[in-house]
Amino acid sequence: MQISSFEVLAIVRELQDLVGAYIDKIYQIGKDEILLRLRKKGIGKIYLLIKAGGFLLKTRKTFETPEKPSMFAMILRKYLDDGRISKIYQYDFDRIVVIEIEKKGELYRVISELIPNGNIVLVDNEWKIVMPIREQTWSHRTIKPKELYIFPPSKNNLIEMDVESFSEIIKKSEKDLVRTLAIDLGLGGIYAEEICYLSNIDKNKSTKELTDEEIRDLFRSMRTIIDTIDKKEPSSEIVKEGDKIIAVTPIHLKKFDGYEITRKNSISEALEEIIDKLEEIEGKDEEKERIERQIEQQRKAIEDLMRRSEEKKREGDLLYIHMKEVDDIIERLRKASKEKDKEKSIREIESLDIVESVDLHDGIVRLRIDDKIFEIDFRKSAAENANLAYKLSKKFKEKAERAKEALKESEKKLKERKLEKKEKKEREFWFEKYRWCISSDGNLIIGGKDAKTNERIVKKHMEERDIYVHADIHGAPSCILKCRDIYGKEREITEKSIEEACQFAGIYSKAWKQFGEVMVYWVYPDQVSKTPESGEFLPKGAFVIRGKRNYVRCRMEMAIGEISIEGIKKVMGGPVDSVKARSDRFVVIQPGYIKKEKFAKLLAEKLEVTPDKVSKALPPGDVQVIEVKGLDIEELR
């Protein structure tokens, strides 16, 4: 499904409440997609999602964002972070949206081309290209840094068009009415048919047969649609035919009377609802289809190989059962090949009940035994032919077994592909950017993954009533025991939660690889500082701790299992008690001899998630399993 200029008109009208919003952060979340996190008083945090060649919408839906920004995202951040949106408009009633952003007295524009093979382009005040999401070259324009940005060739600007220009285009056309409206005027098929319907004119009528009054009616109907979209309160309809979404429209169209329709408050809301079905809108998953085709071919190949194996085995069995009779025929054929009147001898042999035909030149005789027809080489004995049949049977069976292994791999790939798609659609909570777990008493515990995230959780997420936790070893994450649950609701910090937070800090430190246990300390937030002693240097992610440290001895033992948050399946690792309190399917592990990568793959298969989901929750080293619940992984014990 491709949105039209009419939908773009409605979207731009809805986006006007984002004028004045500031840009907090920019992400590139797909090959052609960028996500702008915005803030504005009275609106709060909201996102603007743009897909080159596709759509543009505002949403409060959260998306999985990459840990490392792309080059395009870095350039956008450099020029636009903390910039203020000053204007959003549709260019020439085309499928192009221009967003103007002011930052420190400079003006930049993000141009969203929603046409097929469109682009997202950052330009400066003089329309010089700073960076596109991808470089493109045509005969009439070039989309590359430092080039002057030129808009794609425009169709007719229907908003500014008068009835005379409208009439002139129609009268010049050699097509029927609906195609003239759709193509020559650029209305698209849906709105071309709607205009014909509103004007009560046959869409297949030749433009040469139209009267001036009919043309004026068509123009008025077009203007009515544009004015309705431009002036009405935001709303939208999702139109379905069976399970397929065929249109998203900003107003009700008579064309879709009788179709299944879902009404929404805005076109952004409609697009947001179907965003999880973009596969259907943008096209099918080609990789998934390729794997499915491969699986189908492998299954057919296995069936064919097994059939051929059975046939050859049956041939061998029949030859052994009728060995004397077959050897007699072979002997007669050998003699016949040496006789002068070969044809007479061959005719006599072919008259036998079990002989179908003879090819003397190739040394082949076709036999019919128990209604089965097959060929043998009469230059070999019946026993030799039977053994050859058995060898071929075995060969086909071995090929089938190898094909079955390949099929298993393909089915595994398909399963992983489906899981990846499913997980991509899943809601990701903010704390999943870090190491995390939920204590037995419901407190959120988070930990850094590297120097950058160590820095971030302390500066951004540590509150006055939280607890800071750190293993007393070099190479340990900074961890925070929150005074809140995962939803931000206040939670009392208990002694048990502190013990579990200390355990959490210990297991994700380098102590997992080196020691059976480690000392972990906890302090209050006002004891944590980024200011080093005079003459000392403090690297990124490190902090100075002042005052008394409270120590807890922690064993290298943890659990990892499946939990549910708002009905969404998540993989959580952490202290044994915290995982057991929330999971019916988990394993308890210690440092051991099983490679981390191997364990992640096996556990991921049992939990029906991708290995990456498990890897993120595992400690920094190899493991051994000491307890299992609800999972069949005895092979790792």
What is the spatial distance between Cα 251 and Cα 266, in angstroms, rounded to a whole number? 10
Partners of residue 131 on adjacent β-strands: 122
pLDDT at 86: 97
Is pLDDT of 83 > 60?
yes
The architecture that CATH gives domain 5-143 is Roll (2.30)
**Over the stretch 177-217, which tens digit does the pLDDT of each residue have?**
999 999 889 888 899 999 999 999 999 999 999 999 999 99
What is the spatial distance between Cα 539 and Cα 524, in angstroms, rounded to a whole number? 21
**Over the stretch 10-60, which tens digit does the pLDDT of each residue have?**
999 999 999 999 999 999 998 899 999 999 998 888 999 999 998 999 998
pLDDT at 1: 54
Mean pLDDT across 343-365:
89
- Give the whole-number percent of the chain exceeding pLDDT 70: 95
pLDDT at 286: 63
pLDDT at 18: 96
pLDDT at 423: 55
Assess contact for 560 and 589: CB atoms under 8 A. Answer: yes
The two tokens of residue 90 are 């549709």
- Helix (H) or strand (E) segment spanning residue 547: none
Strands 244-249 and 96-103: unpaired
Mean model confidence pLDDT for the chain: 90
DSSP structural state of residue 431? G
Mean pLDDT across 127-154:
93
Is pLDDT of 238 > 80?
yes
DSSP structure string for 337-385: TTSS-HHHHHHHHHTSTTEEEEETTTTEEEEEETTEEEEEETTS-HHHH
Angle ∠(7,12,18) on CA atoms, nearest 5: 145
Residue 409 CA to chain centroid, in angstroms? Answer: 20
Which class is domain 163-265?
A: mainly alpha
**Over the stretch 399-449, which tens digit does the pLDDT of each residue have?**
999 999 999 999 888 887 776 665 555 667 889 999 999 999 999 999 999
Angle ∠(130,49,423) on CA atoms, nearest 5: 120
Long-range contacts of 17-22 (CB under 8 A, 24+ apart): 17/43, 18/43, 18/46, 18/48, 18/58, 18/85, 18/88, 19/85, 19/86, 19/87, 19/88, 20/84, 20/85, 20/86, 21/46, 21/84, 21/85, 22/82, 22/83, 22/84, 22/85
Is pLDDT of 345 > 90?
no
Position with higher pLDDT, 62 vs 72: 72
Is pLDDT of 243 > 80?
no
**Over the stretch 375-399, which tens digit does the pLDDT of each residue have?**
999 999 999 999 999 999 999 999 9
pLDDT at 449: 92
What is the spatial distance between Cα 89 and Cα 8, in angstroms, rounded to a whole number? 10
Backbone angles phi, psi at 555, to 5 degrees: -80, 150
Is pLDDT of 511 > 80?
yes
Mean pLDDT across 68-82:
94
pLDDT at 413: 83
Is pLDDT of 75 > 50?
yes
pLDDT at 542: 86
Is pLDDT of 549 > 50?
yes
Is pLDDT of 280 > 50?
no
Banded model confidence at residue 283, pLDDT cuts 50, 70, 90 = very low
pLDDT at 92: 92
Nearest to 271 by CA among 262, 283, 260: 262
Mean pLDDT across 144-149:
96
Is pLDDT of 588 > 50?
yes
pLDDT at 623: 94
pLDDT at 420: 65
pLDDT at 26: 96
- Give the whole-number percent of the chain exceeding pLDDT 90: 68
What is the spatial distance between Cα 234 and Cα 404, in angstroms, rounded to a whole number? 56
Domain ranges of the chain: 5-143, 163-265, 290-395, 426-553, 557-637
What is the spatial distance between Cα 270 and Cα 250, in angstroms, rounded to a whole number? 9
What is the spatial distance between Cα 158 and Cα 166, in angstroms, rounded to a whole number? 9
Q: How crowded is residue 11: how many other Cβ atoms within 10 Å of its Cβ? A: 26
Backbone angles phi, psi at 216, to 5 degrees: -65, -35
pLDDT at 66: 84
Banded model confidence at residue 535, pLDDT cuts 50, 70, 90 = confident
In angstroms, the first-to-last Cα distance of the chain is 51
What is the spatial distance between Cα 619 and Cα 79, in angstroms, rounded to a whole number? 39
CB burial string 300-325: b at 16+ within 10 A, e below: ebbeebbebbebbbbbbbbbbebeeb
Nearest to 383 by CA among 456, 439, 318, 337: 318
Is pLDDT of 279 > 50?
no
Residues comprising the chain, all counted? 637
Rg of the Cα trace of the chain?
36
Which amino acid would we find at residue 382?
A: A
Is pLDDT of 285 > 70?
no
Is pLDDT of 247 > 80?
yes
DSSP structure string for 151-217: PPPP---TTT--HHHHHHHHHH--SBHHHIIIIIS--HHHHHHHHHHHHT--TTSBGGG--HHHHHH
Mean pLDDT across 469-486:
94
pLDDT at 60: 86
The two tokens of residue 13 are 């009208």
Is pLDDT of 264 > 50?
yes
Is pLDDT of 231 > 70?
yes
What crossing angle do the helices spanning 188-199 and 5-14 adopt, rounded to 10°? 100
pTM, to two decimals: 0.50
Nearest to 45 by CA among 33, 37, 57: 37
Nearest to 461 by CA among 478, 473, 442, 439: 478
